[in-house]
Amino acid sequence: MKRSLQRRDQPSVGETKPSSEPRHKENSLTELGAEAKACKACDLWKNATQTVFGEGTESAEVVFIGEQPGDREDIEGRPFVGPAGKVFNSALDEAGIDRTKVYITNAVKHFKWTPAPRGKRRIHQKPNELEIAACLPWLEAELRIVKPAIVVCLGATAAQSVLGKSFRLMRQHGEILSSPLARAVMATIHPSAVLRTPDEASRRSQMALLVGDLKKVSNVLSHGSHTPGGRNHRQSPLR
């Protein structure tokens, strides 16, 4: 089915609209992903190996949204296959969520990086508001096709892209919110936050937080319940 992309009146992040936006005529995730390979709506494609589009089943009940591909993902062309992806897989396992039944994507589809002062390492750089806004139409299109029961934002970048700049991750993580995006929306920490902790005790506590939040997702999926507080978070044209 041919669809035209519907934009918000304002970008969800940043004050400026991207000068060049992707235009989609998506029929399926496969076609959308193929189209995204040629995207040049912001400058991030220039230093990246390839577009890393979302991955998973079109009938997924849950869509996970991370920030952007990392070094490994950029090379392999698949989301969440690097060290953070391993943490994510363990957290999903512990929470009882089957990765093969979900859809996983990023708010930004190209790897943003800077060279390390010494050596060949590529250091992750946070995408800016303009880049996130430029990439938002791809995310919106993915969500329109999948139509998940619940959207889970992993980390502050994804949360603010979907839930707005006023969203405070560490205060509001794990809250099941109502949204036009899906029956429910929740945000939790990005799995890379577990890796960034300085010691084993903090690692365990960050992992427990992530797994605890993912168990709430599992609950929503198994009971079909949502939005216990009924809080509505921002309007979106997605539905």
Q: Contact, 207 vs 192, CB < 8 A?
A: no
Q: Which residues contribute to the site for ligand SF4 (CB under 6 A)? A: 22, 36, 39-42, 44-45, 51, 108-110, 131, 134-135, 138
Shortest spacing between CB 158 and ligand SF4, in angstroms: 14
In whole angstroms, what is the distance from residue 66 CA to residue 62 CA? 13
Q: Which is nearer to ligand SF4, 105 or 179 (CB)?
A: 105
Tokens of 198: 């300085």
Shortest spacing between CB 54 and ligand SF4, in angstroms: 11
Q: Which is nearer to ligand SF4, 73 or 131 (CB)?
A: 131
What kind and span of H or E run contains 170? helix 169-172
Q: Contact, 193 vs 155, CB < 8 A?
A: yes
Q: Nearest-5° angle of CA 105, CA 76, CA 163?
A: 15
Closest CA to 143 of 180, 95, 97: 180
Q: Which is nearer to ligand SF4, 42 or 146 (CB)?
A: 42
Q: Which is nearer to ligand SF4, 105 or 188 (CB)?
A: 105
Shortest spacing between CB 27 and ligand SF4, in angstroms: 19
Q: Which is nearer to ligand SF4, 61 or 67 (CB)?
A: 67
Tokens of 63: 């869509």
List beta partners, residue 65.
105, 153
Q: Contact, 103 vs 66, CB < 8 A?
A: no
Q: Which is nearer to ligand SF4, 134 or 209 (CB)?
A: 134
In whole angstroms, what is the distance from residue 185 CA to residue 163 CA? 9
Closest CA to 143 of 39, 204, 60: 60
Closest CA to 220 of 183, 179, 172: 183
Tokens of 189: 């920490």
In whole angstroms, what is the distance from residue 32 CA to residue 221 CA? 26
Q: Which is nearer to ligand SF4, 94 or 129 (CB)?
A: 129
